[in-house]
Structure 1
């Protein structure tokens, strides 16, 4: 029986027999479950920038006013532009592994759907 390909893109391949990602191969028969996870990262550095900017403004030095405002603006832009990170998490007999990350939610969900289809076909 030949392998059926469920997904193949950018070095990631899901077939009826294996999952290949980042040079590692996982047998589909060893995967008990798969899920997509969204990382919830806290923008600590952006908040520190904003606080530094307010500190500069509160310092009262008129020559540093522009620098303080620019620092606050940079922190705010950083928070607004921050992209969420999505991951493929595999459950195997040896535990849980985060095997693929991307900012592209649809890409990660496509990989998870392909893995689920492969697991279901395996039976």
Structure 2
């Protein structure tokens, strides 16, 4: 506590006084309210306080400090690498179905030598088998994955048949890794 002169009457008053007891005027050097100085935040806390979103959609959020994929959070500092992986569909069974249909088709052609009705029936069956095999083969899709590697291993965090979507997510995670480490 310091003693200061009143700005109105000049009497000596306490620096902590709200007003002069003689004239009621505020003190000459009114004490400023004490400032609360927050301690310095660690680097990670400062980074989270300034978190920048690089990519956001209903399933994925990539920020400057973390990656959230379908509710699972990956800390950016724990990710060692990210890449797109591809899983091609298994075409073995549809291909075997088409080959089997071709064999039945050949048998249908041989059946025409004995009986036209039997040959026609076998021909319809062969066409159905081949047609189903081709439809099955065309319905198979290639899947693309966001593979996130960390010290605990690699995991396919996200899968989609949309290559450009997966590529955009991988690019944004890579950008976050490069910019914010």
Higher helix share: 1
Of 31, 39, 44, the residue aligned with 2:79 is 31
Q: Secondary structure at the match of 1:3?
A: coil
TM-score by length of 2: 0.62
Deviation of 1:81 (Å): 4.3
TM-score by length of 1: 0.89
Bigger CA radius of gyration = 2
* Structure 1 Cα separation of the partners of residues 167 and 100 of structure 2: 39
Higher strand share: 1
RMSD between aligned alpha carbons? 1.6
What is the aligned partner in structure 2 of residue 103 from structure 1? 161
* Structure 1 Cα separation of the partners of residues 124 and 87 of structure 2: 34
Deviation of 1:46 (Å): 0.9
5+ residue gaps in structure 1?
A: none
- Point out the more displaced range, 10-19 or 100-109: 10-19
Is 1:42 aligned with 2:90?
yes
Deviation of 1:50 (Å): 0.7
5+ residue gaps in structure 2?
A: 1-48, 109-117
Say which structure, 1 or 2, has more relative contact order (CA 8 Å, 6+ apart).
1
* Structure 2 Cα separation of the partners of residues 67 and 40 of structure 1: 30
* Structure 2 Cα separation of the partners of residues 121 and 45 of structure 1: 46
Q: Secondary structure at the match of 1:59?
A: helix
